[in-house]
Amino acid sequence: MTKAPIQLQDLRRRLYVKAKAEPTWRFWGLYVHICKLETLRQAYAAARANAGAPGNDGVTFETIEQAGLEEFLGQLRQELVEGRYRPQRLRKVKIPKEGGKFRQLSIPTIRDRVVQGAVKLILEPIFEADFQPGSFGYRPKKTAHAAIQRVSTAIIQGKTYVLDLDLRAYFDTVRHHIVLQKVARRVNDDAVMALLKAMLKASGKRGVPQGGTVSPLLSNIYLNEVDKMLERAQQVTRRGQWTAVEYARFADDLVILVDSHRRHHWLRGAVEQRAREELARLQVEVNEDKSRRVDLSRGESFGFLGFDFHRIRSRRGRWMPLRTPKGKKRTALLRKLKEIFRNSISRPLRSVIEQIN
């Protein structure tokens, strides 16, 4: 994201500090900050940096800037202040997936992306204070690499029983009333709640649109209770710096690792049962066909964030994790590299390296 103005940075810092210090505090007076030109301007800059196709109205960033960016932002602010703003219908686009399936993206108009971005700028620091260490998806200063490293460290520590839970069509099945209830625990601002409700309604009767700017934040808010339960499981089994349970979640990709010692065998069923209970409360369905129970000590493997994880012995005889790109992704990568090299016979080496990277 582009760097926010000092005043906006300071506001976000103060919201985070207050939320961290008072876990039950409900924030009011937030809508006025969403409507500020500096917030909308920063939200536009972030949307511009991410580029992306236009929404249903066909309006592009170039169209807006040719007509005058400040006029566009001023009109949008006026609509918000006067309560006239209404989100427009989302443009549906199907993206091919593995196995001949498709993922449906819902693309908002740029004006709606800006408003969603403004909402995210103000709400994000509040909920960041509530989120758990094992949640990595779409969060500031959190990366997929860090999630992968967390899992690798757990394997080194002997947590070799793995519960790999697949959440069936998670983003499409988020219940609006549940996510709004969870937001309302921290937000005591009717205008903000009405705005969020209108955004969700524009996406259909349920689900958060994949492609929406505020959707990742809402999806993390929705699953935060699952993360909290897993954090409690860690604390119950903690002995000094060591725990018998570890987990990592990146959006809807969740793995739970349990220590392999026989005295912790009871934890396997207990943690799985509690995780399933929390998901059931949220009306999130577990895909039984894709969910797996894996024992790395028996030579089995599991997938997480595009990698297959195994356990092997090092030359010194120590157990260590082995990560390999998933088969189909590895094949696609090799195919891409082959094409690059075929078309790069006469190109400078630096240019080829830049394209690969």
Residue 66 predicted with pLDDT over 80: yes
Burial (CB < 10 A; 0-12, 13-18, 19+), residue 327, is exposed
Tokens of 346: 């006469």
Distances (CA, A) of 71 to 75, 77, 78, 166, 232: 6, 10, 10, 46, 50
**pLDDT at residue 13, as a whole number:** 98
Cα separation, 292 vs 162, whole angstroms? 8
Cα separation, 139 vs 102, whole angstroms? 26
Tokens of 84: 């006239």
Contacts 24+ apart (CB under 8 A), 69-78: 69/44, 72/111, 73/37, 73/40, 73/41, 73/44, 73/114, 74/37, 76/40, 76/111, 76/114, 76/115, 77/35, 77/36, 77/37, 77/40
Per residue in 290-329, pLDDT (tens digit) is: 999 999 999 999 999 999 999 998 888 888 999 999 865 5
Residue 348 predicted with pLDDT over 90: no
% of the chain beyond a pLDDT of 90: 75
- The residue whose two tokens read 């002995």 is 239
**pLDDT at residue 332, as a whole number:** 54
Per residue in 278-289, pLDDT (tens digit) is: 999 999 999 999
- The residue whose two tokens read 């960033």 is 61
Domain boundaries, the chain: 1-90+107-130, 136-172+211-325, 327-357
**pLDDT at residue 120, as a whole number:** 98
Tokens of 75: 């009109």
CA–chain centroid gap for 9, Å, is 22
CATH number for 136-172+211-325 (one of 3.10.560.10, 2.30.40.10, 3.30.70.270, 1.10.150.80): it is 3.30.70.270
CA–chain centroid gap for 107, Å, is 17
Per residue in 71-108, pLDDT (tens digit) is: 999 999 999 999 999 999 999 888 777 667 777 888 99
Task: Tell me the chain's radius of gyration from C-alpha atoms.
Answer: 23
Q: Are 140 and 243 in contact (CB under 8 A)?
A: no
Tokens of 92: 């549906």
Residues belonging to the chain: 357
First CA to last CA distance, the chain? 21
Between residues 334 and 104, which one has the greater pLDDT?
104
Cα separation, 32 vs 100, whole angstroms? 46
Pairing, β 307-313 against β 302-304: antiparallel
For 147-178, letters b (16+ CB in 10 Å) and e give bbebbbebbebbbbbbbbbbbeebbbebbbeb
- The residue whose two tokens read 């703003």 is 85
Window from 129-143, 145-159, 259-273 with minimum mean pLDDT: 259-273
Per residue in 161-170, pLDDT (tens digit) is: 999 999 999 9
**pLDDT at residue 85, as a whole number:** 97
Q: Name residue 169's amino acid.
A: A
Cα separation, 193 vs 184, whole angstroms? 7
Cα separation, 191 vs 206, whole angstroms? 21
Please give the mean pLDDT across all residues of the chain: 90
Residue 223 predicted with pLDDT over 70: yes
